[in-house]
Amino acid sequence: MKKFAIIMVLAALVGCGNAQNKQDEKQNGAPAGSAAVTEQEQTPNNNTMKALVTYFSASGVTRNAAKQLADIIGADLFEITPEQLYTEADLDWRDKQSRSTIEMNDKTSRPALKDGGKANLANYDVVFVGFPIWWYTAPTIINTFIEANDFEGKTIVPFATSGGSNIKKACEDLKAAYPNYKFGEGRLLNSIDKAEIEAWAAGLK
Ligand SMILES: Cc1cc2nc3c(=O)[nH]c(=O)nc-3n(C[C@H](O)[C@H](O)[C@H](O)COP(=O)(O)O)c2cc1C
């Protein structure tokens, strides 16, 4: 776990793709879900996307990031809520018997979600899925969420907060687990930069 701190600096620079290039290319694009703001975007059939920001947060950090993301891009919010909330003891990564350790050691674990974890995705083209990085990847409750819903025809965009690890492995693991779904460029949101987020979202169309 010491690794978290060591790679803290690198983590801020690494996402699942080339965010900076996309930012350069799409500097004039509208943020996801926002109203059309330029001449070009007011043409019929503009590709403004409807976005939903979903997130799981055990201790509030990802919730805060998700709210800021939704606010910046004008998206709706949906919380991925465990049937049984995680206690502080559950989150003790030093404890080999803690709930989180046991879940993360068993990649087939699918922690239950409140009300089955169904989200109404019908109206959305892009679904952001946010989570804390646990053991360098996404918590298995994110698998529960993805498997509880139908993402056919939508773009799943991972985002995460962490103690320093990047989101690369989480993105790779999710893409490998769900090869039939389309994934957009994931991003670590340990710090929120409005302009960067707008450019990222514009690049996801
Ligand atoms: C069980 C567990 C495992 C974690 N593993 C990692 C990790 O591998 N790398 C990392 O940088 N942070 C790790 N963290 C720290 C969380 O990713 C970080 O605190 C996150 O922002 C918490 O988000 P939340 O408040 O939304 O739950 C871990 C935290 C927990 C509870």
Is the Cβ–Cβ distance between 75 and 35 less than 8 Å?
Answer: no
Is the Cβ–Cβ distance between 204 and 184 less than 8 Å?
Answer: yes
Ligand 1 pocket check for 4: Cβ under 6 Å: yes
Ligand 1 pocket check for 7: Cβ under 6 Å: no
| pLDDT confidence bin for 4, thresholds 50/70/90 | low
Please report the sign of the dihedral spanned by the C-alpha atoms of residue 112, residue 117, residue 118, residue 124.
negative
Rounded CA separation 62/130 (Å)? 7
Tell me: the pLDDT tens digits for 7-50? Answer: 444 443 344 544 333 333 333 333 343 433 334 343 333 346 79
Domains of the chain, each with CATH number or no CATH? 52-78+113-202 (3.40.50.360)
Looking at residue 40, the DSSP 8-state letter turns out to be G
Nearest CA owner, ligand 1 atom 3: 134
SS3 content of the chain, % helix, strand, coil (to 5): 35, 15, 50
pTM: 0.82
Ligand 1 pocket check for 161: Cβ under 6 Å: yes
Ligand 1 pocket check for 134: Cβ under 6 Å: yes
Rounded CA separation 171/158 (Å)? 7
Average pLDDT, the chain: 84
Residues contacting residue 134 through CB under 8 Å, at least 6 positions apart: 93, 100, 104
Q: How many CB atoms lie within 10 A of CB 39?
A: 7
Inform me whether the pLDDT recorded for 110 exceeds 70: yes
Q: How far is the CA of 57 from the centre of ligand 1 (A)?
A: 10
Tell me: the pLDDT tens digits for 119-173? Answer: 999 999 999 999 999 999 999 999 999 999 999 999 999 999 999 999 999 999 9
Ligand 1 pocket check for 58: Cβ under 6 Å: yes
Is the Cβ–Cβ distance between 130 and 54 less than 8 Å?
Answer: yes
Nearest to 90 by CA among 111, 115, 73, 67: 111
Q: Output the pLDDT for position 204.
A: 87
Least confident piece of the model among 45-54, 60-69, 132-141, 178-187: 45-54
> Closest ligand 1 atom to the C-alpha of 91?
31
The residue-averaged pLDDT of 78-105 equals: 98
The SS3 of residue 11 is: helix
